[in-house]
Amino acid sequence: MPILWRHAQLATLTDDAPWGWLADGALLTIGERLVWLGRDADLPGDAEVDAEYDLEGALVTPGLVDCHTHLVYGGARADEFEARLQGVSYAEIARRGGGVLSTVRATREAADETLFAAARRRALALLAEGVTTIEIKSGYGLNFADEARCLRIIRRLGRELPLTVVATFLGAHALPPEFAGRPDDYVAEVCAWLPALAAEGLADAVDAFCETIAFSNDQARRVFDAARALGLPVKLHAEQLSDQGGAALAAGYGALSCDHLEYLNDAGARAMAAAGTIAVLLPGAFYVLRESRPPPIAALRAASVPLAVATDHNPGSSPLLSLLLAMNLACTLFRLTPEEALRGATINAARALGLADRGVLAVGKRADFVVWPLNHPRELAYWMGGCHPSRVIVGGREVCADGRVANEADLQP
């Protein structure tokens, strides 16, 4: 059923023209797809449509894509927030058995319904700001049963919420207490779980945390080899707190993305460029941990590595549930331009997930788009809070902030 959306200011992001700007544009959708897009004045006169909406000059952007989150977890870590304010470092908290491991304990103890309900609430908070695709990582189970359980909850979110959910297996996130002092044995376990997780269709990609407080370069390599054997794409938490050479390693595996990158070196940036690997910037974690060394944005630009921006939502280093605020932080802290920030939260984020069908407004792409009560897309990175879409369209269907598909009460989750 064709639906026509008229009189919009379109930030299509399709080409190098600033914002892919199209004044007084129109969009035609059939089902999940955009089938026509252009100047309102050029609309084919004979188009028969089932519904027509006049957007009265409102701004329309592609649906936002949050390409790095850890939304499924139990508990919270506000106590560690207080400890860090007293001067205890993130790495020190991790060494004392807090950090990721305290969330692992809370996650293992939580019932499925508790984990699902909390993650659903978080996903809806993102959706209410125009996020139509989310990536969610496991990594707070750290044994086979709990990793599989979290991945199944991620899949259930994808089935029951009106947005696309991409699942990433992050078994190599931290060393669980059962394997203390035996990281190589744990990595062997993680690799051994992968075939069963893949057979159940639970992972779209495989990630690892390469860092002194997590896993070494060689250990990440073994995880990547196991992923490659199953045809699963890889990505890496790389160079967040120190230079481990992780980005170059991941690029050698054709990684979809390397994420964080504060300590990325030039060789790493060049390797990412050669492999087409996306740089996912996570200014929420940088801000919360009060880091002082920003990622080498100039080197990434010089090497033409596409920049993405994500929330990294997690209960430790980035309790951030606003992709718009992540865009603002990326501008203020990392000196991205507002346009880079928006491309980073749409087209380049989609590329970081290997999704070629979204992130821009163009014929043939998914009809995921957001109508904003704003005059210019630069405002998306400018306001700090309080910036809400007037309408969110996912796969051609309008969704409400509570996750219902408008006018389709029977699809309520």
Nearer to ligand DI6, 29 or 103 (CB): 103
Nearer to ligand DI6, 10 or 67 (CB): 67
Q: What angle, rounded to 10 degrees, do the helices at 144-160 and 100-109 form?
A: 80
Using CB under 5 A, which of 80, 135, 262, 312 touches Fe ion?
A: 312
Which residue is it, tokens 């009189």? 7
From the CB of 314, what's the least distance to ligand DI6, in Å? Answer: 4
Instruction: Round to whole Å and give the CA distance between 89 and 359.
Output: 37
54 three-state secondary structure: strand
CA 298 to chain centroid: 23
Cα–Cα distances in angstroms (integers) from residue 20 to residues 33, 121, 343, in the given order: 19, 33, 10
Q: For Fe ion, which stretch binds (CB under 5 A), given 271-279, 307-315, 372-380, 389-397?
A: 307-315
Q: For Fe ion, which stretch binds (CB under 5 A), given 49-57, 80-88, 309-317, 331-339?
A: 309-317
Instruction: Round to whole Å and give the CA distance between 366 and 361.
Output: 8
Give the torsion through C-alpha atoms of 245, 250, 252, 253, to 10 deg: 160
Nearer to ligand DI6, 103 or 133 (CB): 103
* Residue of 59, 140, 67, 69 whose CA lies nearest to 103: 140
The listed partner (ligand DI6, Fe ion, none) that binds 156, CB under 5 to 8 Å by sort, is none
From the CB of 238, what's the least distance to Fe ion, in Å? Answer: 11
Return the HEC string of 211-278.
CCCCECHHHHHHHHHHHHHCCCCEEEEECCCCCCCHHHHHHHCCCCEEEECCCCCHHHHHHHHHHCCE
Q: Which residue is nearest to Fe ion (CB)?
A: 312
End-to-end CA distance of the chain: 24
From the CB of 257, what's the least distance to ligand DI6, in Å? Answer: 13
The listed partner (Fe ion, ligand DI6, none) that binds 306, CB under 5 to 8 Å by sort, is none
Nearer to ligand DI6, 278 or 285 (CB): 285
The listed partner (ligand DI6, Fe ion, none) that binds 219, CB under 5 to 8 Å by sort, is none
219 and 172 in contact (C-beta within 8 Å)? yes
E strand or H helix at 169 = strand 164-172
Binding site for ligand DI6 (CB under 6 A): 99-100, 103, 173, 209, 237, 240, 285, 312, 314-318
Instruction: Round to whole Å and give the CA distance between 204 and 234.
Output: 9
From the CB of 402, what's the least distance to ligand DI6, in Å? Answer: 28
Q: In the chain, helix, strand, coil percent, each to 5?
A: 40, 25, 40
The listed partner (Fe ion, ligand DI6, none) that binds 164, CB under 5 to 8 Å by sort, is none
Nearer to ligand DI6, 285 or 327 (CB): 285
The listed partner (Fe ion, ligand DI6, none) that binds 311, CB under 5 to 8 Å by sort, is none
From the CB of 207, what's the least distance to ligand DI6, in Å? Answer: 8
User: What single DSSP character describes residue 406?
Assistant: T
From the CB of 255, what's the least distance to ligand DI6, in Å? Answer: 15
Nearer to ligand DI6, 43 or 91 (CB): 91
- Phi then psi for residue 164, to 5 deg, are -85, 130
Q: Which residue is nearest to ligand DI6 (CB)?
A: 316
From the CB of 119, what's the least distance to ligand DI6, in Å? Answer: 14
Which residue is it, tokens 């304010």? 85
Q: Does 291 bind Fe ion (CB under 5 A)?
A: no
Nearer to Fe ion, 285 or 299 (CB): 285
Q: Exposed, middle or buried: residue 246 (CB in 10 Å: 0-12, 13-18, 19+)?
A: buried
From the CB of 312, what's the least distance to ligand DI6, in Å? Answer: 5
From the CB of 285, what's the least distance to ligand DI6, in Å? Answer: 5
Cα torsion angle, 10, 323, 388, 71, sign: positive
Nearer to Fe ion, 189 or 312 (CB): 312
What residues line the site for Fe ion (CB under 5 A)?
312
